[in-house]
Structure 1
Amino acid sequence: MVRVLRENAVMSYILLVARLYLGWAWLTAGWEKVIGDFDATGFLKSAIERSAGDHPAVQGWWATFLENVALPYVGFFNFLVAWGEVFVGIGLILGVFTTFSALMGIVMNFAFLFSGTTSTNPQMVLITIFVLVAGYNAGKIGLDRWVIPALRGKRRAGHYSPAQ
C-alpha cells in the first residue's frame, strides 16, 4: 500500500483531490479567522475546564500546557492558528512543500483534538496520513513537481546546506 501511495501515477490524481479538499478546508477556516475577530481565549478556557471530572475530555498534561503557555500568550496563538491555517491551505492547494504543509496541518488537527473537539478533525487526520505517507507523490501534480527537484539539485551541487 505504501508503495502504491508513493509511486503510482493514478494515486497522484487521487491525492490531488484529497489535497484540494484539505487545502480548501484549511484556507477557508483560516481566512475567516484572519478577517474576523478571532480570539481563542474562550476555546482555551473551555478546553481547560473539560480536563476535570471522572472522564475528562482533555488530558491534564494538555490542560496544563493550555493554561500555562497558550492562554497567557493567546494573542500569539491567535496569530499562529489563523495564519497557520491559511498557509497550510495554500501549500496543500498549490502542492508546494506538500509534506511539510500536511505535517503542520495534522499537528493543528491533533491540537484541536487534544483540546476536546472533534468536528472534521478526525477525517482530516485520516486523509492527511495518506498525504504524508505518499510524500513527494502527493505534490507531484502541483508546484512540488518543480520545487523539490530544484532543491535537491542545489543540495547535490553544493549550493545548498541546511546551515544556510
Structure 2
Amino acid sequence: MFIKWIRESQIAAGILTIIRLYVGYSWITAGYGKLTGGFDASGFLQGAVANATGDHPAVQAWWASFLEGIAIPNAGLFSFLVSWGELLVGLGLILGCLTTAAAFFGIFMNFSFLFSGTVSTNAQMVLLTFFILIAGFNAGKIGLDRYVIPFIRKQSKGRFSSGESIAS
C-alpha cells in the first residue's frame, strides 16, 4: 500500500520534491565546495585505511584493501569523481532530471563514505534517498523528468520496435 502511494500519489510527489531538493542541495553544496576548494581525497582515504585496525575497526578489512590497492594509488581520479559526482548528483536531484539515476549514484557515494568510517549526514541521506529510489518516476514528476523520461521512452521504443536487439 505504501509503495503504491509513494509511486503514484500527487501528495507523495510533492513531499518527494521537498526531500529531493533538500538532498540535492546537500550534494550540490558539498560538490561545489570541493571543486572550488581544491579537494584532495588522499588524506581521507589514508585516514579510512588507518581506521581499519584495532579492536573495533570502523572500516572493514575488505574495504581497506580496496582503498589501499585501487583508491589511494588513483587518488587524483577519485578526487575528480567525488567532486563532480557530488555536484552532478545534486544538480540532477534539484532539477528532477534523471532523478532515479542521480539518487542511485548519490546513495552509492553515501555507502562508500559510510564504508570508509564517516557517519556525518550520510546515514540520513541514505534513508531519504531510499524514498526517492522507491518512488521511481514519481520522485521527479515535479521536475524535468516529466518531460525527459517520456522522451527517452519514446526514443528507445522507436529504436527497438523494428526487432533490433540491444546487442545489435
Q: Write out aligned runs for 1:35-74 (5 A).
A: 35-74=36-75
Give me the whole-angstrom Cα distance separating, in 2, the residues matched to 1:41 and 1:145: 40
* Residue number in structure 1 paired with 2:87: 86
Shift of 1:37: 1.8
Give me the whole-angstrom Cα distance separating, in 1, the residues matched to 2:104 and 2:60: 23
Given residue 66 of structure 1, which amino acid in structure 2 is its aligned partner?
Answer: L
- Which 5+ residue runs of structure 1 have no aligned equivalent? none
Farther off after superposition, 36-45 or 21-30: 36-45
Give me the whole-angstrom Cα distance separating, in 2, the residues matched to 1:79 and 1:115: 18
For residues 102-144 of structure 1, the C-alpha deviation after alignment (integer angstroms, 9 at most, x for no partner) is 0000000000000001000000000000000000000000000
For residues 54-88 of structure 1, the C-alpha deviation after alignment (integer angstroms, 9 at most, x for no partner) is 11100000000001100000000000000000000
Give me the whole-angstrom Cα distance separating, in 2, the residues matched to 1:163 and 1:95: 30
Please say if residues 28 and 91 of structure 2, whose CA atoms lie closer than 8 Å, have aligned partners that are also in contact: yes
- Which 5+ residue runs of structure 2 have no aligned equivalent? none
* Residue number in structure 2 paired with 1:32: 33
How large is the RMSD of aligned CA atoms in angstroms? 1.4
**Which stretches of structure 1, 4 residues or more, deviate above 4 A after TM superposition?**
159-164
- Aligned pair count reads 164
